Amino acid sequence: MELWFLGTSAGMPIRDRNVTSIALTQNDGTFWMFDCGEGSQHRLLQTPLKLTKLTKIWITHLHGDHVFGLPGLLSSRSSLGGTEALQLYGPPGLRELLETSLRISETHLNYPIHITEIEAEGAIFEDANVKVEAAKLDHRIESYGYRIEERERPGVLNAGWLAEQGLPPGPVYGQLKAGQDVTLADGRVIRSVDAVGESLPGRIVTILGDTRPCANAVKLGRGANVLVHEATFAHALADKAHEYGHSTALQAAQIAHEAGARRLLMTHFSSRYTREALAELETEARQVFADADAAIELTPYPIPL
């Protein structure tokens, strides 16, 4: 899994920063997007990610700097030969936004889109590998954060010990890895619990939309390997941040600290801050949370097990 920031600017793009969008690669070679500000598909062209491999889009809220890139991106995915269904999640109003823009522009897609408007907080998607939870944040309009939690993974197979037991590599290794005991030809039973180490915890990635500091930000970020939190302003402008429904870098760090996250990646920076000025936001955040960074666009951030 890797995070790619396709845009880290708040409100409008500037010369070296686009508006908000984040890509999260999946273990099967596909990827998800979180928000899709204007120009997001242009940023994708500067990454190794292929639009036809996009399977899900998660929208945090419907402010323009988070959604104005959607119609064009959906159209390009079709033009590039995408045929697999695309699932979109977001606040109420997402369906009207998309269906209206596609209808008026007479945009015809070669694949189905399935839109899920969030009706209640909690788990909104689950499969065999991952669970995604959503919760409301504190912004001027309805805004959500998402917690992506991997399932536990089987432990490491002790191949050396199995070889000592006279069991060569083969299909039985897969059975043991899957939790099944194996009976050998001589009647001995090799137990999975003896052959496989302890289960490995899954990774947790929390991506928050625009928000003031709030309890749900801490809840969604609890124990996260990576917490993505907006840091629109330096703390000297805390009053302005609160007025517009945003957070400061220091407040983002306080949320990460309270949540017990391992790493904080800050994004959604006001256009007043140049690339050089982002170092000041990092310094501010690190007063409270040492592993805090201002996200750099088009740079992969691996999420190790």
- Positions annotated as catalytic residues are 65
Distance of CA 90 to the CA centre of its chain: 14
Give residue for tokens 């006279």. Answer: 166
- Residues within the annotated binding site for Zn(2+)? 61, 63, 65-66, 139, 210, 268
* Beta carbons of 259 and 224 less than 8 angstroms apart: yes
**In degrees rounded to 5, what are phi and psi of residue 135?**
-150, 150
- The residues near 21 (Cβ < 8 Å, ≥ 6 apart) are 5, 6, 7, 33, 34, 35, 36, 37, 40, 43, 66, 69
| Distance in angstroms (rounded) separating the CA atoms of residues 220 and 226 | 11
- Residues within the annotated binding site? 61, 63, 65-66, 139, 210, 268
CA distances from 117 to 84, 96, 113, 139 (A): 20, 10, 13, 18
**In degrees rounded to 5, what are phi and psi of residue 38?**
-55, 135
Task: Please name every residue paired with 125 in a beta bridge, in sequence order, or none if there are none.
Answer: 132
Output the CA torsion sign for 264, 287, 9, 301: negative
